[in-house]
């Protein structure tokens, strides 16, 4: 009986939000600090980000997971108008900044040399919504303003409090802020999240949920591809949701733990992933003993 009532309520909310559909998904957050988000990347369309328009090209978030390796969402690469994937040369990435319109002494800007997308991602839904970008060059070693974050490899318990960061809209269909935003959201178990999204078929394999059923705090348009960080590890990639911070619909993220093997296998030519780097360091240390 309770489940039937729950389903009826969800149907009503879905009808009310038909115009929203499933949107690429910081509402209800606060200004972020650079020292807490050194892994954060602004992914930009290069032609929209030139000269005095610096900052206008922001299209998605990303996360630095190696000195030349960025994790984002596959739908950030897909051009819905042309039904084709954009090329690496269409993008540039910006790191080490809080205000997306300003370059500081800490800001680094890179061109993109290569993009890897799962062959199973088709562009018409959010299944396997992950992509890896490789930059031309690499972030200098010991650069204290920009530091890669390790990827999560553990199961996340329901209620685990995580943080989402991005320059996305502060409200649905709203403008994007100048300053980087952050908000805390709890992990929602898959069974409960499947009930929320049962009309659209529920979660696909490799997805996880985080957010509040009462709404008010969530990722939004422009946050897509950005990080969901739990216990100091990158746990998710902002993928989609039913609107932004809507009642009854937590945000959906690509599960980094599920895709970690595929991510590690992607190689940009001069890539050393965090796990490989750690292994090499351990070998060097043991060799000197």
State the catalytic residues. Answer: 75, 129, 224
Q: Give buried/exposed letters for 256-279 (b at 16+ CB in 10 A, else e).
A: bbbbbeebbebebeebbbbeeeee
3-class secondary structure, 234: strand
- Do residues 232 and 163 lie in contact, with contact meaning Cβ atoms separated by under 8 Å? no
* 61 within 8 A of 132, measured Cβ to Cβ: no
Please tell me whether residue 47 adopts helix, strand or coil conformation. helix
Instruction: Answer whether 164's CB lies under 8 Å from 226's CB.
Output: yes
Q: How many CB atoms lie within 10 A of CB 173?
A: 12
- Using CA atoms, how far residue 112 sits from 115, 128, 147, in Å, is 8, 21, 18
Supply the DSSP string of 120-180, one letter for each residue: T--SSS-TT--EEEEESS-PPTT-TT----PBP-SPPPTT-EEEEEES--SSTT-PPPSB-
Q: Which of 56, 111, 116, 113 is nearest to 85 (CA)?
A: 116
The neighbouring-strand residues paired with 273 are none
How far apart are alpha carbons 150 and 129 in whole angstroms? 19
């Amino acid at each position: 009986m309770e489940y039937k009532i729950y389903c009826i309520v969800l149907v009503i909310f879905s009808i009310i939000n038909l115009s929203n559909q499933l949107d690429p998904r910081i509402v209800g957050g606060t200004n972020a600090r650079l020292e807490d988000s050194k892994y954060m990347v602004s992914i930009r369309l290069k032609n929209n980000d030139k000269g005095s328009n610096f900052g206008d090209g922001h299209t998605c978030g990303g996360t630095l997971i190696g000195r030349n390796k960025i994790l984002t969402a596959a739908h950030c690469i897909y051009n819905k108008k042309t039904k084709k994937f954009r090329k690496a040369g269409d993008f540039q990435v910006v790191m080490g900044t809080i205000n997306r319109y300003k370059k500081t002494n800490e800001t680094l800007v890179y061109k993109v040399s290569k993009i890897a997308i799962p062959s199973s991602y088709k562009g018409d839904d959010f299944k396997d919504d992950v992509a890896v970008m490789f930059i031309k060059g690499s972030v200098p070693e010991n650069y204290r303003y920009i530091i890669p974050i390790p990827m999560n490899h553990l199961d996340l318990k329901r209620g685990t409090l995580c943080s989402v960061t991005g320059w996305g809209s502060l409200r649905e269909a709203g403008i994007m802020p100048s300053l980087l935003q952050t908000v805390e959201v709890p992990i929602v178990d898959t069974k409960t999240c499947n009930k929320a999204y049962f009309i659209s078929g529920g979660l696909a394999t490799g997805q996880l949920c985080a957010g509040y059923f009462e709404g008010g705090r969530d990722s939004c348009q422009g946050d897509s591809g950005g990080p969901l960080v739990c216990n100091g590890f990158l746990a998710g990639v902002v993928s989609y949701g039913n609107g932004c911070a809507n009642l009854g619909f937590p945000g959906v993220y690509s599960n980094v733990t599920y895709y970690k093997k595929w991510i590690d296998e992607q190689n940009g030519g001069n890539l050393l992933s965090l796990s490989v780097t750690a292994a090499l360091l351990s070998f060097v240390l043991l060799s000197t003993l």
